[in-house]
Structure 1
Amino acid sequence: MAAEVYYQAIGTLQSHSYLNNLNHHQKHQNNLVTLVSRDFISSNGLSTRRSNCTGQRNCSVIRSLASQTSVVDPVLSPSRSNAGDTYKKSNEAALILIRHGESLWNEKNLFTGCVDVPLSKKGIDEAIEAGKRISSIPVDVIFTSALIRAQMTAMLAMTQHRRGKVPIMMHNESEQARSWSQVFSEDTKKQSIPVIASWQLNERMYGELQGLNKQETADRYGKEQVHEWRRSYDIPPPNGESLEMCAERAVAYFRDQIEPQLLSGKNVMISAHGNSLRSIIMYLDKLTSQEVISLELSTGIPMLYIFKEGRFIRRGSPIGPSEAGVYAYTRRLALYKQKLDNMFQ
Structure 2
Amino acid sequence: MAKYRLVLLRHGEGAWTKENRFCSWVDQKLSSDGIKEAQNCGKHLKALGFEFDLVFTSVLSRSIQTAWLILEEMGQEWVPIQSSWRLNERHYGALIGLNRAEMALNHGEEQVKIWRRSYDVTPPPISESHPYYAEIYNDRRYKCSDVSQENLPKAESLKDVLDRLLPYWNEKIVPELKSGKMILISAHGNSSRALLKHASLMRTSSMSPSPLVCPYFLNLMRTCTLWALTSFWVIKKLSKLPSKKWKIKGK
Does residue 299 (structure 1) correspond to residue 220 (structure 2)? The answer is yes
State the 1:262 CA deviation.
0.6
1:303–1:142 distance in 2 versus 1, CA, 3 Å = farther
One of 76, 79, 96 as aligned partner of 2:7: 96
Residue identity in the other structure for 1:141: L
1:276 aligned residue: 191
| Runs of 5+ unmatched residues, structure 1 | 1-89, 167-191, 289-295, 306-311, 331-345
One of 76, 87, 110 as aligned partner of 1:201: 87
2:31 aligned residue: 120
2:115 aligned residue: 229
State the 1:320 CA deviation.
6.6
Tell me if the contact between 1:94 and 1:138 (Cα under 8 Å) persists in the aligned partners.
no
Residue identity in the other structure for 1:121: S
Structure 1, residues 267-313: CA drift from partner, whole Å, max 9, x if none? 0000000010001110122769xxxxxxx9843547577xxxxxx96
Aligned counterparts of 2:55 and 2:201: Cα–Cα separation in 1: 23
1:137–1:317 distance in 2 versus 1, CA, 3 Å = farther
Does residue 148 (structure 1) correspond to residue 34 (structure 2)? The answer is no
Aligned counterparts of 1:227 and 1:131: Cα–Cα separation in 2: 33
Q: Which of structures 1 and 2 has the bigger CA Rg?
A: 1
| Runs of 5+ unmatched residues, structure 2 | 126-154, 204-216, 245-251
Aligned counterparts of 1:93 and 1:318: Cα–Cα separation in 2: 20
RCO comparison, higher one (Cα < 8 Å, 6+): 2
1:214 aligned residue: 100
Give % identity: 38
1:318–1:148 distance in 2 versus 1, CA, 3 Å = farther
Aligned partner of residue 12 in structure 2, secondary structure: coil
1:303–1:250 distance in 2 versus 1, CA, 3 Å = farther
Does residue 254 (structure 1) correspond to residue 169 (structure 2)? The answer is yes
Aligned counterparts of 2:83 and 2:112: Cα–Cα separation in 1: 30
1:165–1:283 distance in 2 versus 1, CA, 3 Å = same
Runs of 4+ in 1 over 2 A off after TM superposition: 296-305, 312-321
Aligned partner of residue 238 in structure 1, secondary structure: coil
Tell me if the contact between 1:133 and 1:319 (Cα under 8 Å) persists in the aligned partners.
no
State the 1:317 CA deviation.
6.5
Tell me if the contact between 1:146 and 1:202 (Cα under 8 Å) persists in the aligned partners.
yes
Residue identity in the other structure for 2:44: R
One of 329, 334, 339 as aligned partner of 2:243: 329
Instruction: Give the TM-score normalised by the residue count of structure 1.
Output: 0.53
* Residue correspondences, number: 198
Aligned counterparts of 1:237 and 1:313: Cα–Cα separation in 2: 30
Tell me if the contact between 1:141 and 1:268 (Cα under 8 Å) persists in the aligned partners.
yes
Instruction: Give the TM-score normalised by the residue count of structure 2.
Output: 0.71
